[in-house]
Amino acid sequence: MLNKLVAEHSVVAAQQKPSCTTCSLRDVCLPVGLDDAEVQHLSTLIKHKFRVRRGEYLFHAGADFKSLYAVKNGFFKASTLKTDGRTQVTGFYMTGELLGLGAISLEKYSCDTMALEDSEVCEVPFAKLEEIGRAIPPLMNQFHKIMSREIVHDHDVMMLLGSMKAEERLATFLLNLSTRLSRRGYSSTEFNLKMTRHEIGSYLGLKLETVSRSFSKLQEEGLISISNKRVKLEKIAELYRKIGD
Amino acid sequence: MLNKLVAEHSVVAAQQKPSCTTCSLRDVCLPVGLDDAEVQHLSTLIKHKFRVRRGEYLFHAGADFKSLYAVKNGFFKASTLKTDGRTQVTGFYMTGELLGLGAISLEKYSCDTMALEDSEVCEVPFAKLEEIGRAIPPLMNQFHKIMSREIVHDHDVMMLLGSMKAEERLATFLLNLSTRLSRRGYSSTEFNLKMTRHEIGSYLGLKLETVSRSFSKLQEEGLISISNKRVKLEKIAELYRKIGD
DNA sequence: CGGTGGCTTGATAGTCTTCAATACATGTGG
DNA sequence: CCACATGTATTGAAGACTATCAAGCCACCG
């Protein structure tokens, strides 16, 4: 089964030296708010650009932590595994987002992180990030904002899980994807889901059948069109109204 | 109604200059891992020690962010308010824990934070923390670990909300309190809850009636004793087994 | 073209919520 | 200091929502 593969070797094989200076993600990634010289300095710490193919894991929970990873392109899911076998998807990550923030506290990765499509990541050695951050205060500040944003986002998910019904959760999820995609220059109304119903359900605290039913219901109500992995948001304003925003 | 009061003035009135050097929280708060000279340096940035009385808010969501607050003693709850009026408790904070981490990203506090008992907090101006952190790398690193820990904890809560039944959620909650209390020198088996059933339910994604029923059921099973706010964990090992650990 | 995993839909069962009534605790004012 | 008011907690019964079990369909890949 493809999903079970851990392909450290193929991952390393495709490495190359990237540059933040010319990267299209300067506005969404770590370089936010830095001037050209600072970005160039930041660039020196980015070790490799890795390729991670669909179904491969970037890292596993429990492995020694040394680096964060910025998503250069592609799509990832992070999931935690409890001792009793229960797993849950804790997040989906797209272009320009940072992977591994939970690993800093215990210096072990806190979740399994898998590519849901062929992807590339930039490795950011954490010790060096802290070091260079001392020389470039805006970089350190941007990093703090990224971590803080993750906390706020997690609080939003907690509210979703704690107080929303299935349809509302799914609508919230779709609108969140829509926002993040449009910020990256993609369509905010039409996109392909990279994850399965099961993975969506795991993230939203629902069973896959309930996810499927909720998709169908949102479609019946005319708010979206759904066909397999293809989603079209037909009435964004009403979707927002549904989730109380 | 006491809970609605915002008592900025009484809060400020009780300020005094604290010192991390002699603080009993050196092992759980920001100073973790620092030597004496470094702790003394850190101490210079702690502006005030505030008193916050039971029912008063330390800060409100949306207010301009300038400082984090370390809980010197007491107990706090943080809650978010959605536009449609739904609220949810996003966390409870005790001695040595940092309040306001979600505010860094947008430079506005992201949640309302209220004292559940008479408390004291140390104000940590964030800009100064970043500045002094540059001079004391272990301080900056400890701060990153604290933020990371918050992320991991939030992921744990997401798993709780997404995949656990009412009794399991409550058992997890009680064991979490137990662990944090024992780390601070209090009994790990017997303690007073500072929050109401409603607040527990809001945090755990349950209605207060369900929380009450779950308490009763855990008591019937002989795992805990509960009388109003007084809890005694009778069989910790079995509580852990119940939540699959 | 067959097989496998992913998806949809229906029927039933389980869990939690909602509504309601009562009891208890706490703090305020007389 | 007691009485009363208000917020808090417990418990029951009915209803809502989601999970579970099951069957069949569909898409994709070798």
* CB pair distance less than 8 Å for B244 and A86: yes
A106-143 per-position pLDDT tens digit: 999 999 999 999 999 999 999 999 999 999 999 999 99
Distance from CA(B25) to C1'(C15), angstroms, rounded: 42
Please give the CATH superfamily to which domain A2-149 belongs: Jelly Rolls (2.60.120.10)
B201 to chain A: closest CA residue: A162
Query: Looking at per-residue confidence, does A47 or B242 come out higher?
Result: B242
Q: For the domain made up of B2-154, give the CATH fold.
A: Jelly Rolls (2.60.120)
Residues of chain A with CATH 2.60.120.10: 2-149
Query: What are the residue ranges in chain B where pLDDT is below 50?
Result: 1-14
Considering any atom of strand D, list protein residues whose CB lies within 7 Å. Answer: A 165-167, 205-207, 209-210, 228; B 1, 3, 196-198, 208-209, 211-213, 215-216, 226, 228-229
Closest-CA residue of A relative to B140 is A130
Q: Under the phi-then-psi rule, with left for phi > 0, alpha for psi from -120 to 50, and beta for the rest, what region is A214?
A: alpha
* Per-residue pLDDT at B245: 77
Task: Grade residue A60 by pLDDT with cuts at 50, 70 and 90.
Answer: very high
Residues 142-171 in B contacting A (C-alpha not used; CB under 8 Å): 144-152, 154-159, 161-163
Shortest CA distance from A142: residue in chain B: B105
CATH 2.60.120.10 intervals, chain B: 2-154
Tell me yes or no: is domain B164-242 CATH 1.10.10.10.
yes
Global pTM value: 0.92
How far is the alpha carbon of B77 from chain A, nearest alpha carbon, in Å? 13
Using pLDDT thresholds of 50, 70 and 90, give the confidence band for residue A102: very high
Q: In which residue ranges of chain B is CATH 1.10.10.10 found?
A: 164-242
* pLDDT value of residue A7: 43
Contacts of A131 in chain B (CB under 8 A): 137
| pLDDT at residue number B10 | 46
Higher pLDDT, A51 or A5: A51
Higher pLDDT, A56 or A1: A56
How do residues A140-164 score in pLDDT, each as one tens digit?
A: 999 999 999 999 999 999 999 999 9
Dihedrals phi, psi of A7, to nearest 5 degrees: -110, 65
Does the structure show a pLDDT above 60 at A87?
yes
Q: Does any strand C atom come closer than 7 Å to the Cβ of B230? A: no
Count contacts between A and B (CB, < 8 Å): 143
pLDDT in tens, A200-231: 999 999 999 999 999 999 999 999 999 999 99
* pLDDT given for residue B45 in this prediction: 86
Mean pLDDT computed over A179-198: 96
Query: Is A82 within 8 Å of B148 when comparing Cβ atoms?
Result: no
Of B102, B149, B203, the CB nearest to A105: B149
Percent of chain B whose predicted confidence (pLDDT) is above 90: 82
Q: What is the pLDDT of residues B225-239, one digit of tens each?
A: 999 999 999 999 999
Distance from CA of B27 to the nearest CA of A (A): 15
- Predicted pLDDT at B23: 85
Round the average pLDDT of chain A to a whole number and report it: 92
pLDDT digits (tens, 9 = 90+) for B3-19: 333 444 444 444 566 78
Contact map slice: A 39-78 vs B, CB within 8 A:
none
Quote the pLDDT of residue A1: 36
Residues in A closer than 8 angstroms to B244, CB to CB, are 82-86
Distance C25 C1' – B202 CA (angstroms): 22
Q: DSSP labels for chain A?
A: -GGG---HHHHHHT-B---STT-TTTTTSTTTT--HHHHHHHHTT---EEEE-TT-EEE-TTSBP-EEEEEEESEEEEEEE-TTS-EEEEEEEETT-EE-GGGTTTTB--SEEEESSSEEEEEEEHHHHHHHHHH-HHHHHHHHHHHHHHHHHHHHHHHHHHH--HHHHHHHHHHHHHHHHHHTTS-SSEEE--S-HHHHHHHHT--HHHHHHHHHHHHHTTSEEEETTEEEES-HHHHHHHTT-
Residues 6+ positions from B99 with CB-CB distance below 8 Å: B58, B68, B69, B70, B71, B76, B78, B93, B113, B121
A-interface mutation test, from B87, B92, B93, B104, most A Cβ less than 10 A away: B104
Q: What is the pLDDT of residues B53-74, one digit of tens each?
A: 999 999 999 999 999 999 999 9
